Amino acid sequence: MAPKAKQNKAKAAAVAVSNSSKDSSSSTNTNAIGDFTNSIEKSINSYFENLTPRLKLIDIFLTFLVLVASVQFIFVILVGNFPFNAFLGGFISTVGQFVLTVSLRLQSVSQNKDFFKKITPERALGDYIFASLILHFIIYHFIN
Q: Where are the domains of the chain?
A: 1-50, 52-144
pLDDT of residue 90: 92
What whole-number percentage of the chain has pLDDT above 90? 45
Is the predicted pLDDT of residue 1 greater than 60, yes or no? no
Residue 13: the pLDDT is 54
What pLDDT does 86 receive? 86
- Distances in Å between the Cα of 55 and the Cα atoms of 16, 52, 95 are 56, 5, 19
Average pLDDT for residues 48-63, to the nearest whole number? 91
Residue 144: how many other CB atoms lie within 10 Å: 7
Q: Which class for 97: exposed (0-12), middle (13-18), buried (19 or more C-beta within 10 A)? A: buried
| Dihedral sign for Cα atoms in the order 132, 134, 136, 138 | negative
Pick the closest to residue 126 from 104, 102, 106 (CA basis).
104
Is a pLDDT exceeding 80 seen at residue 25? no
Q: How confident is the model at residue 9 (pLDDT cuts 50, 70, 90)?
A: low
Could you tell me the pTM of the whole model? Answer: 0.71
CA atoms lying within 13 Å on the CB side of residue 124: 19
Region for 83 from its dihedrals, namely left if φ exceeds 0, alpha if ψ lies in -120 to 50, beta otherwise: beta
Q: What pLDDT does residue 52 have?
A: 87
